[in-house]
């Protein structure tokens, strides 16, 4: 049983490759089923955001699992490219460490951004609801959420807020210097559009036009931010009076092309227009940049803006790394209990402890037993224990040969309360330490 990760991100692949491997949420169920049908994959979660597509899996074999994931991604890829140039892999400790970095936003384009934790939770929710996760990924992802929350609570990594939407506004300010008096058109009425609008308004923008395929949603957002909703089919006509256009829709195709923008700029008498496309897949045809008065930036172009806001967060990231290292060790400790050999050893120890305790109780009732009688009792009880445990232990060892074998080991631990035993021992140990400290304190006084 191995945990593996395969994927690509803003660090390894350009936007045209990332958008070719984007997974719409309504299609995740089918794709998860495809993954689970693979020979080596027993659990899986698909994480798909504008900056990354990653598959987390539990596999019976590392090399076989990696091949299964690679084949799956290649079949899904919509562009002609050598995908191996962009893919990365993590396995075992590295895979756990990577997920904790992702949920803590250390692997994001903008360190400390708050959206990724919610996105990972949503990805896990889809997998859980489609029965694509079991003991290992359930434990791993729930642990990752706690790690992400702890990092944000125990460090200042989320201070001096920056995000894709914030960076878009910063880029607009560099072009126009003063945003007051400018007219902005937002295309798309989702959360990203709302965040971008709020950043714009805090920087002096008063006129905001909102276009969305669903006019009702445009109206709803307009009420929230005191903007003006416009009908989607009038978008190009209204764009003539916009100085800045920011797009963030879920469209699989371009919503603005070169011909559209030529028409808009002609009516603007060649006055420049600033376009920021923060959607993946992209909303605006990159050929628009060929028009002299159109200045188009996509999500990758925001990277230079992002870099200037990360100095403090980078310092806080060092503290986050310490937290993650500790939490990885904690998770590995739990994961090791799923190995069949230590589980069998613990089961035998518990059985032996129960056997000895019961013999001592019986001796109190039976009185003094001769050595021969005591040996007979020991032989009898040992025989019962060995015969009772023999078949479960054989089955547990055999189960390790199947891709879902660890589930049987986890069930064994649950049914016999092996992890409860560990928790009780830890509690007793902690209590004894407290008593020792109190004793030392009293002696010192």
User: Catalytic positions, please?
Assistant: 50
Whole-number Å distance between alpha carbons of 9 and 335: 27
Other CB atoms within 10 A of residue 365 CB? 6
Whole-number Å distance between alpha carbons of 85 and 83: 5
The three-state secondary structure class of 113 is coil
Report whether 117 contacts 145 (CB < 8 A): yes
Whole-number Å distance between alpha carbons of 141 and 99: 8
Peptide bond into 91 cis (omega under 30): no
Strands 183-187 and 207-211: parallel
Assign 3-class secondary structure to 46-90: EEECCCEEEEEEEECCHHHHHHHHHHHHHHHCCCCCCHHHCCEEE
Buried b (16+ CB within 10 A) or exposed e, 242-264: bbbbbbbbeeeebbbebebbeeb
The three-state secondary structure class of 308 is coil
Residue 122 neighbours by CB under 8 Å, 6+ apart = 25
CA angle, 275 as apex, 269 and 279 as ends, to 5°?
150
Whole-number Å distance between alpha carbons of 160 and 148: 18
Whole-number Å distance between alpha carbons of 210 and 228: 6
Q: Which helix (H) or strand (E) holds 367?
A: none
Report whether 35 contacts 55 (CB < 8 A): yes
Nearest to residue 76, comparing CAs of 54, 50, 43?
54
Strand partners, 59: 2, 41
Whole-number Å distance between alpha carbons of 375 and 381: 10
DSSP 255: S
Report whether 409 contacts 396 (CB < 8 A): yes
Whole-number Å distance between alpha carbons of 133 and 144: 15
Nearest to residue 25, comparing CAs of 97, 101, 122?
122
Nearest to residue 209, comparing CAs of 180, 240, 179?
240
């Amino acid at each position: 049983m191995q945990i593996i990760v395969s994927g690509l991100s803003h660090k390894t692949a350009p936007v045209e490759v990332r958008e070719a491997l984007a997974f719409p949420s309504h299609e995740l169920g089918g794709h998860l089923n495809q993954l689970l049908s693979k020979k080596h994959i027993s659990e899986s979660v698909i994480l798909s955001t504008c900056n990354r597509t990653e598959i987390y899996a539990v596999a019976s074999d590392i090399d076989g699992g990696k091949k299964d994931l690679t084949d799956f991604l290649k079949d899904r890829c919509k562009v002609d490219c050598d995908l191996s140039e962009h893919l990365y892999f993590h396995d075992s400790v590295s895979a756990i460490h990577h997920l904790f970095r992702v949920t803590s936003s250390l692997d994001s384009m903008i360190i400390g951004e708050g959206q990724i934790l919610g996105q990972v939770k949503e990805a896990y929710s889809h997998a859980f609801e489609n029965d694509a996760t079991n003991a290992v990924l359930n434990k791993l992802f729930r642990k990752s959420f706690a790690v992400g929350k702890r990092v944000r609570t125990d460090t200042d990594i989320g201070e001096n807020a920056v995000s894709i939407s914030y960076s878009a506004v910063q880029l607009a300010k560099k072009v126009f210097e003063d945003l007051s008096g400018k007219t902005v058109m937002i295309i798309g009425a989702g959360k990203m559009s709302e965040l971008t609008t709020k950043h714009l308004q805090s920087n002096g923008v008063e006129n905001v036009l909102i276009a969305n395929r669903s006019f009702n949603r445009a109206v709803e957002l307009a009420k929230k931010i005191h903007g003006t909703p416009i009908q989607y089919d009038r978008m190009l006509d209204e764009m003539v009076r916009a100085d800045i256009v920011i797009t963030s829709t879920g469209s699989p195709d371009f919503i603005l092309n070169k011909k559209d923008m030529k028409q808009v700029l002609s009516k603007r008498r060649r006055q420049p227009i600033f376009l920021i496309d923060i959607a993946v897949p992209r909303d605006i045809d990159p050929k628009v940049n060929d028009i002299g008065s159109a200045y188009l930036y996509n999500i990758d172009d925001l990277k230079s803006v992002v870099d200037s806001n990360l100095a403090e967060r980078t310092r806080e990231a060092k503290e986050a790394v310490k937290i993650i290292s500790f939490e990885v060790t904690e998770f590995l400790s739990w994961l090791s209990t799923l190995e069949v050999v230590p589980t069998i050893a613990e089961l035998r120890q518990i059985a032996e402890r129960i056997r000895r305790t019961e013999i001592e109780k019986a001796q109190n009732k039976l009185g003094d037993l001769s050595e021969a009688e005591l040996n007979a009792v020991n032989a009898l009880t040992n025989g019962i224990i060995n015969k009772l445990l023999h078949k479960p232990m054989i089955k547990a060892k055999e189960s390790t040969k199947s891709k879902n074998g660890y589930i049987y080991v986890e069930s064994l631990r649950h049914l016999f309360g092996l992890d409860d035993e560990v928790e009780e021992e830890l509690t007793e140990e902690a209590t004894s330490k407290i008593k020792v400290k109190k004793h030392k304190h009293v002696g010192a006084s």
